[in-house]
Amino acid sequence: MKKLLRVLNGEALDVPPIWLMRQAGRYLPEYRETRTKAGSFLELCYTPELAEEVTLQPIRRFGFDAAILFADILLVPQALGMDLWFVEGEGPRLAWPGDDQNLGALRPVDEIDETLGPIYETVRRLSGSLPDDVTLIGFAGAPWTVATYMAAGRGTPDQGPARRWIYDNPSGFSHLIDILTEATIAYLCRQIEAGAEVVKLFDSWAGALTPEAFRRFSIDPARRIVQAIAARYPSVPVIGFPRAAGVMYEEFARTTGVRGVALDQQVPLDWAREALPGVALQGNLDPMLMVVGGDALKDAAKRIVGAMAGAPHIFNLGHGITPDASPEHVEQLLQAVRN
């Protein structure tokens, strides 16, 4: 069995498997070349041979233990009928059909495959082109995080528009979360059918929620998604990443049914080992160290490996690798972890 799958089945390995969030990205010169060839970020996502290529690039260069599908969390709202585009240097923009937050204007969930078909084709291609010992990870944005972009039409520092929607129109916001939950189930199941061996749920803005709202809009949708996947594909593990959830990580791990929990860099590993038994832990190196490199990077990596010794652990960052990171520092990290 592949190393990542062994850990997600509860096994502690002497050398943890390693991959990095956003490992296919702008810090790699080969990615930048392919991105230029594609012409736009969305063309890169929706062109299977190019999306396959950028997914494979960090595997060829570094020999990671897992590859994660190259796509974007906002493809789901686009498939539901929202206009999506990217502003260079600023990020994504979304617009509702008819320019208002009318949930009735969204497409039915059973029509999203008309847009997302190329993503499934990328997964199929990767399932045949990855080395035999590399695990293929599919992913989706968690409903709450996707909803924050839908509410604001862009990324915001405090997710204020979505939080206000919760208070102004709780039934309407709950309906949006239900739509996104069903769409996410459909999207992830199709990725699994195409060959994904693990799927990951990114709740990047979970830390903006109060404990009560976290239970309702992060934990409950995640539990529904995990249960639906387990009912259809019981051998496929789900990794959850409720970033910046703090002490709510414990309830998330205990109640959602995920087999792995990704930890941000603010989470003390000694606390996590005590508070989150029964799940594999992924993380949680500070991404800034991929910019700094050197002894600071190597010492931190060794501390994490030591802190997680004897527990099921997947080495990763506490968030995605940044464009100003150095490929040479990735090599330093791999040497520190594997040696």
Per the annotation, the verdict on 149 as an active-site residue is yes
Task: Point out which residues pair with 93 in neighbouring strands.
Answer: 85
Number of Cβ within 10 Å of residue 329's Cβ equals 19
* Extended strands (E) in the chain: 66-68, 83-87, 91-95, 135-141, 198-203, 238-242, 260-262, 280-285, 313-317
Per the annotation, the verdict on 72 as an active-site residue is yes
Per the annotation, the verdict on 154 as an active-site residue is no
- Report the distance separating Cα 108 and Cα 186, nearest Å: 12
Tokens of 43: 């063309």
Tokens of 226: 């995990």
Torsion angle in degrees (nearest 10) through CA of 34, 286, 5, 183: -70
Among candidate residues 31, 65, 72, 249, the one labeled active-site is 72
* Cβ-Cβ contacts under 8 Å for 178 (sequence gap 6 or more): none
Q: For tokens 């010492």, name the residue.
A: 299
Among candidate residues 22, 125, 190, 259, the one labeled active-site is 22
- Report the distance separating Cα 46 and Cα 39, nearest Å: 12
Identity of the amino acid at 26: R
Among candidate residues 27, 46, 149, 249, the one labeled active-site is 149
Identity of the amino acid at 51: A
Residue 76: closest CA among 127, 139, 20, 121: 139
- Report the distance separating Cα 323 and Cα 35, nearest Å: 13
Per the annotation, the verdict on 107 as an active-site residue is no
Tokens of 62: 């570094």
Helix (H, G, I), strand (E, B) or coil at 200: strand
The CA-atom distances, in angstroms, between 121 and each of 141, 174, 192, 287 are 19, 32, 12, 31
Per the annotation, the verdict on 187 as an active-site residue is no
Count helices and strands in the chain by DSSP H and E runs: 16, 9
Among candidate residues 27, 35, 190, 264, the one labeled active-site is 35
Residues with a catalytic annotation lie at 22, 26, 35, 72, 149
